[in-house]
Structure 1
Amino acid sequence: SFIDGLDLCIVMEFCVGGNLRVLIQALKKMSIKDRKMKCYMPFYQMLSSLAHLHSLGIVHRDLKPENVFLDENGNTKTADFGLAQTMISKSYLKSAGTAVYAPSEAHMQNKMVFASDIWVLAVIVIEMLTGVHPYAGRTVNDTIENITKGKMVVPLPDFIQGELKEMLMNMLNVDADKRPTAEQLLETELMQFQAQTENKDDENRKIAIEAGIIDVLIHLFSTQPLELITPTHAWSFFVFTYPASDEIKQSLAEKKPYPALIHLLDHTNFMVLRRAVTSISNILVGGSNLTPINQPHPHFQAVATCDGIDKLFSLFKKNEYEKITYISAKCIGQLFKAKEIPNVEMRNDIIAYIKTALSSSEQQKKENSKWVLGLLAENSVNRAEIEKDGFKIPE
């Protein structure tokens, strides 16, 4: 950006693909199958942009097809932040933006929250899939009335089924408090799969690592006061770890990131904390996969020497956030691959927790828990604790 007289000029990327409205019109001419396939990437990318905004305490407040641009490769760029505002120290913001792309709370209570952006995203995705605004009436007032009543003009067509339908309907809940967050939606199997298929770009990661970006982030995490480390900083490191190959994770491990990441576990911000512990887990996964199952984890000493194991166990015992509790347990389980957990309390608590996680309704969590138990069971003492009371490790 630069100043020109009285004007603040902002130089932005030129998006040759126009805005999302152009894509919506083009999708109307495609088959249902092609339409669905073309929707997943924009859905994931818009959701990721909202997750980032919301982690910074910002509500967009004017999300609509005209404010989402497309580059030459079809990637979406969420833009037009003229009405965006931070929600720090506030429970909600006043309503703003385009009436037909504003949820019930905007019309009924003149307020917008993070969940308001989630509602609008669902409307946009349905419009991409069907070519029709789900609440469209004959007039703007009719549309607003439909929105406030939660009355869809036409039910979702049969080709919108399974997890996609469940996600969209939850996002459209009239009660903003009952809508899922952007982070929760990114954890769904559909979005996890999309992350792997669309964002796995190891070549660019290699270039960035060689350029020293990881070194800069590690230095930042190690030397700056925690209050100066933002969710954006933590996210910038996290995206190198997921989705990424085991070889990339090994390259990250060679940068000796554990002291810096362990330092972040003392942060008070949930998003920084979550990204830090998830980054640790992701790098550990690379080490687990690159060594035989019956050999100790190659990163054990690197984590132990910076008091990382005790820090992870303390985080686990806090049990403030279920997701962070689980990832902490997963980290400890990997670190004691084919190695006895000498702390009896830690051994009992971690193994009991992971065994309980096998009953989770989340398939990915169940599979990960089974895998971690298998790693731990390569040590006889750990195995005895796992198998007590006749418990059998799932095949």
Structure 2
Amino acid sequence: MSPWIEMCKDLSKPIVSGQEGSIDLQRQIEICEYLIELFKDSKINDEYRNRFILSGAAKALLNIFQNWKLEDIKEQYSEAFFLLAYTSNEEIIQLLFTLNPFKGLLNLLEHSNIIIQKRGLESIFNIQLGGSRSKSKTEVHPYFDAIASLVGIEKIYEFMNRNNTTKYCKDLSAITIGYFYRARNYENVDMRINVIKQLKSVVQDQNNSLKVNAKSALNKLAQNTDNKTEIEKDGFLISE
């Protein structure tokens, strides 16, 4: 049996809630730590990413996110999946998208651990980014329906507006929503106003590491006239 199939088998084993000393739990954490080391360089090891996904092991991780109690999900699980999805290889991203990843990743936004929240959101962003590269910025996002069917946009927006959400995650939430709403009108006017306001604040912050992404999100949103009008309020100029 290949090591990838073994990983899938071990990651698919149910763990009794609160059973910290479980051999199976320790094995799963060891697998995730191995994956973290294997995938930490986003520019290499796409062949291993491909094998891991095709073995069913990536789906096993998503099943954990979707079905386990949140308190039983450890940082290593979310970190491993984040690094799996942290690649510019569009074929890998497309493979991940076929696994219907958004439901499990959205669940991570409800976790009490802010690192796990962050990795869940970043994984959603990275997967949608791969999908968005395949289309022109004047076309709607190809993954929009998949996230919308789960009320995912609203969940990310709610996460953005929580008092205890970190500044980084608030900014990335707005960027993620902006990418998904590329060339599309917001049904929720308050969401449009608040997301665009958040994006503009990121662009105007010279020290914000997400500035380029926020600028890109605004450019994508501006393909819709209502969004463009909102963006250009107060004389704000959209730069390429």
If asked which structure has higher relative contact order (CA below 8 Å, sep 6+), I would say 2
| Aligned CA distance change for structure 1 residues 215 and 304 (closer, same or farther; 3 Å) | same
Tell me the equivalent position of 2:179: 334
* Paired AA for residue 178 in structure 2: G
Q: Deviations over 1:289-337 (max 9, x none)?
A: 1111111111111111112111100111115201111111111001100
Q: Deviations over 1:69-97 (max 9, x none)?
A: xxxxxxxx9xxxxxxxxxxxxxxxxxxxx
* Aligned twin of 2:77: 233
Q: 1:363 to 1:221 in 2, by over 3 A?
A: closer
Cα distance in 2 for residues equivalent to 1:277 and 1:379: 25
Which of residues 267, 280, 296 is equivalent to 2:124?
280
TM-score normalised over the length of structure 1? 0.49
Aligned residue for 1:266, secondary structure, equals coil
SS at match of 2:204: coil
Aligned counterparts, 1:154-193, within 5 A: none
Partner of 1:368: 213
Which residue of 1 is the match for residue 200 of structure 2? Answer: 355
**Residues 1-395 of structure 1 aligned to structure 2 (within 5 Å):** 195-196=41-42, 199-319=43-163, 320-362=165-207, 364-395=209-240
Give 1:364 shift.
4.3
* 1:102-143 deviation line (CA, Å, top 9, x unaligned): xxxxxxxxxxxxxxxxxxxxxxxxxxxxxxxxxxxxxxxxxx
Structure 2 contact 172–210 (Cα < 8 Å) conserved? no
Q: Percent identity?
A: 34
- Greater share of residues in strand: 1
Matched letter for residue 348 of structure 1: I
Q: Which residue of 2 aligns with 1:134?
A: none
Larger radius of gyration: 1
Return the alpha-carbon distance in structure 2 between the equivalents of residues 279 and 221 of structure 1. 12
Specify the code of the residue in structure 2 equivalent to 1:329: A
Aligned length: 202
Provide, for residues 191-231 of structure 1, a one-character-per-residue CA deviation record: whole Å limited to 9, x for no partner. xxx945xx532111111111111110111111111111111
- Structure 1: segments with no counterpart, 5+ residues: 1-55, 57-76, 78-193
Note the C-alpha offset of 1:359.
2.0
Residue 354 of structure 1 aligns to which amino acid in structure 2? L
Give TM-score scaled by structure 2 length: 0.79
- For 2:58 and 2:158, the matched residues in 1 are separated by 27
Does the 8 Å contact 1:201/1:244 carry over to 2? no
The structure carrying a bigger helix percent of its residues is 2
